[in-house]
Amino acid sequence: MGLLSRRLVVPLTALLFLLEATPALAEGPSSARPTHIQADTLVYSKETQTYEGKGSVVVVQGPYRLEADEATLNVATGRVTAVGRVHLNNGIHDIHGERLDFNFNTSKGVIFQGRLFVLEGNFTVDARVMERLSEEQYRLEDASFTTCSVLEGERMPWQFKAEKAELEVEGFLYARNVQFCILDVPVMYLPAVLFPTKRERATGFLMPVMGSSSVQGFKVREAFFWNISPSQDATITLDERGKLGTGAELEYRYKLSRNSEGYFWTQYFRDVPDQTTRWNVIYKHREQFSDDLQGRVDVNYLNQRSNFFVLSEDVLQRVAVYQESNAFLSKRWDNQVLYGLARYSQNLTSLSDKTVVQTLPEIGYSLTPLRAWGLPVYAGLDATFDDFARLQGTGALRTDLFPKLWASLPWDRYVTVTPLVGFRETYYNRSLLQSDRPTSREALYLSTTVDTRLVRRFAQEDGPGITHKIEPALIYEYLTSTRQGDLPIFNDVDQLFPKHLLTYELTSRLSTMVPMGDTARYLEFAYLRLTQSQHLGSPNRTLSTNVGSGLGLGGNQASGFQPTGRSFSDLRGELILRTLKPIPASLDVDTFYNYTESAVSVFNTDLNFELRNGYFLSLGQRFTRAGPVPVRGDLFNPLTLNDVLIQTEKTHFFTAEVGTALPFNLYAVIRGYYDAQTGRLPEVDYGLYYVNPSRCWGVGALLIERGQIPGVAPAQTEFAFLFTLGGVGSTESPFSAVYQRLFQRLGLDIQKLREVSPPPASARPF
């Protein structure tokens, strides 16, 4: 045994020991890969086939790289013993420790005072004794687990500590007698924890949801996630609401193939104050039988019409009037579509479901533009057959046919003239009006559109040019008068208002290319459209309605038209302004101006400042005055302003959303509604969230204040608590979907903190 080298020049010594060590390794029965070893001082014993290295020892075999102050390697068995600043890495797992006993051939060993860092999952495990049973399995003593990354000497923001634990890197961490610690201070004790340690979904309990309500009391939701197979999973949730009652939810998802997937959700709740059992069902399925044949099913059902109002935190569900279930099947050809639709609606108001019209079924056929007779003439056809049924009131079988012909004729290169002729025939079954003959309605529709586009580009010396487009259009429409008085109204097809109408439209667009780093982005920064219709015959009419006949949806039937005495409709103006600098912002205005009364009848605005420098702001306003309100479009032309409806009450309310990134890693969002008519705030939502500097955990609070609705609901205050462990998950909340969207506008994902902004390299585990 002798001294071989004192390394100063690495390449030379590495080559010498590679040449000598490789034959020795080849003699071992279990050795399949050469081993490279180098150190400041290296001694080799031929009798024991061992290397003893001291000072900056490096041992490499295959994907493994071992560094230590001192190490002993037996080339026959592949066993290495290392002490002092031990570091073992295989490209996926990173292990630090004070002492290591490891076998390269079996991948088994023991690490003392060890730290395991898994790059793919971004989690760290510390243990006094870390026994490596295989490449993926460990047995731990006096262990701790976290996804935080800190500098040496800093206290860990959070971690789980356990006396005993078992770890499967691509499976679970199972620990007993667990303490959850924040800044090394125990704050919670758990007898056992089963924790997923892989990125893929895994069976286990989700983090609980906690909150409180002034009406429902203290609320707790605990969910269990079941990973049934790679193509299906389920979530079972217990729902406890102190003053209201107890319930449960079942959520099941499946994906049978790329073309077949579905979702099932049901809720059961026992409402103690009302002594009522509430349950809801949602089922969705999509099936792509082929590229041209597809179907879907969407089922929504409540056993009590007040379920959403009592149980849901979603404001859109709470104010819903109807909910619909449907089944849809469609077959496509090159220029044809055939479909079948069944639709069932539930009335969520005080009206009886027995009076609600159900469509069981609707069969439709559509012929897309087809060139006729080799001429520049195109043909189209829309045909539907509907079976309208209900338990109380009149139903009907209805067949609607609408064939049409049109041509697109260029005139003097700049102008296009498009004439169209169509004939609408609608049949109703004999029993509708207790008549011996079928009831039908015929309508002839004629239209001509004249439009053009003028484009000019303005060059700029110090930047990209600006393109200005002006698109004027003139549309003439004629629709014959039809027999409406004795016909039911099930949907828009049953309401054909006579037309002798000329519609003027002027659209102006300004666009440019905005430099964005090394690329450029197209931006239409200004859009303005003005629309007005003129009645060439009798002035436009107001549709008045009454209740009592029971023929139409919800009991409404048109009683006729009343002239308004106006030849011109309201002037509609649509304005959109956008900018990307100095901050992304947009303004959207939609307004109607009644020139006869010199008054604005409708005025809606939306102002948005997008994310930049850690804030966003959205302001909205909706105003509709009492009286005649223009009807925007119909079955024939979405631009037409042919008729008006009478609104009995003025509507005027404001909406606002604002969020900002505050100092000390705080994020705040507020969303509110203000009813200018009543001077009340129907709902105001507040959210505050803190993220620690290493982005490995966050905590937040959500507060929702709902105002009183006289005679309907008392004032209510909801509170929810959110807690996120980076790379692990969030507590979730019934309000999380709302606040996640708001916080994301600040660049913060409250469910996946680490994926939004990974920690800097200097903050990774030592």
Same domain, yes or no: 157 and 79: no
What does pTM read for this prediction? 0.69
Same domain, 92 and 7: yes
CATH number, domain with residue 90: 2.60.450
At residue 19, the 3 state secondary structure works out as helix
Query: Is the predicted pLDDT of residue 756 greater than 50, yes or no?
Result: no
* Residue 608, in any domain of the structure: no
Residues 101 and 132 in one domain: no
Q: Report residue 299's pLDDT band, with 50, 70 and 90 as the boundaries.
A: very high
Q: Are residues 29 and 48 in the same domain?
A: yes
What is the end-to-end Cα distance of the chain in Å, rounded? 37
In the prediction, which pLDDT does 474 show?
Answer: 95
Do 101 and 146 belong together in one domain? no
Nearest to 229 by CA among 254, 211, 212: 254
Q: Is residue 421 part of a domain?
A: no
The arithmetic mean of pLDDT across residues 227-232, rounded, is 85
Q: How far apart are CA 737 and CA 744, in angstroms?
A: 11
Q: Residue 758 has what pLDDT?
A: 36
Dihedral angle over CA of 26, 28, 33, 39, nearest 10:
-90
Per-residue pLDDT band for 345 (boundaries 50, 70, 90) equals confident
The reported pLDDT for the residue numbered 623 is 93
Answer yes or no: is pLDDT of 506 > 90: yes
Q: Residue 527 is encoded by which pair of tokens?
A: 């859009």
Q: Quote the domain boundaries for residue 71.
A: 1-106
- Domain annotation covers residue 708: yes
In a domain, 188, yes or no: yes
**How far, in Å, CA of 324 to CA of 56, rounded?**
72
Same-domain status, 1 and 45: yes
What was the pLDDT predicted at 555?
34
pLDDT, tens digit, 9 for 90 and up, residues 429-452: 855 555 555 678 888 999 999 999
pLDDT above 60: residue 416? yes
Please name the amino acid found at residue 755.
Answer: E
CA angle 760, 765, 766 (to 5 degrees): 115
707: Cβ contacts below 8 Å, ≥ 6 apart: 680, 681, 682, 683, 715
> Of 175, 200, 225, which residue is a domain's last?
200
pLDDT at 202 over 70: no
Instruction: Over range 199-206, report the average pLDDT.
Output: 66
Residue 99 and residue 121 in one domain: no
pLDDT per residue as tens digits for the range 580-598: 877 889 999 999 998 888 8
In a domain, 206, yes or no: no
Same domain, 148 and 173: yes
Average pLDDT of the segment spanning 403-423? 90
CA angle 499, 501, 503 (to 5 degrees): 140
93 and 163 inside one domain: no
Task: Give CA–CA dist 96/727, Å, rounded.
Answer: 21
Residue 511: the pLDDT is: 93
Kindly state the DSSP code that residue 492 receives in the 8-state scheme. Answer: G
- Res. 388: pLDDT tops 70: yes
* Per-residue pLDDT at 485 exceeds 80: no
- Strand duo 541-547 + 644-647: pairing: parallel
The contacts of residue 86 (CB under 8 Å, 6+ apart) are: 66, 67, 68, 95, 96, 97, 98, 99, 100, 111
Q: Which of 671, 353, 327, 631 is nearest to 495 (CA)?
A: 631
Strands (E), 147-244: 158-168, 172-182, 185-196, 204-205, 209-213, 217-229, 232-241
Q: What pLDDT shows up at residue 250?
A: 92
Res 627: pLDDT: 83
Report the chain's mean pLDDT, rounded to a whole number: 79
Residue where a domain stops, chosen among 73, 106, 139: 106
Asked, for residue 702, whether it belongs to a domain, the answer is: yes
What's the rounded mean pLDDT across residues 540-552? Answer: 39
pLDDT on residue 711 = 60
Which pLDDT belongs to residue 468? 95
* One domain, residues 124 and 52: no
Which has the minimum average pLDDT: 180-194, 332-346, 578-592? 180-194
Per-residue pLDDT band for 760 (boundaries 50, 70, 90) equals: very low
Where is the domain boundary, 57, 79, 106? Answer: 106
Look at the chain and report how many structural domains it folds into. Answer: 3
Distance (Å, whole) CA 540 – CA 21: 99
240-270 pLDDT, tens digit each: 888 888 999 999 999 988 889 999 999 999 9
State whether 149 and 84 are in the same domain. Answer: no
Contact 452, 416 (CB under 8 A): yes
Considering the domain boundaries, does residue 717 fall inside one? yes
Please tell me the distance from the alpha carbon of residue 119 to that of residue 765, in angstroms, as a whole number: 10
pLDDT computed for residue 539 by the predictor: 53
Tell whether 95 and 134 lie within a shared domain.
no
337, pLDDT greater than 90 = yes
pLDDT at 478: 92
Residue 509 lies in a domain: no
**What is the percent of the chain with per-residue pLDDT over 90, rounded to a whole number?**
22
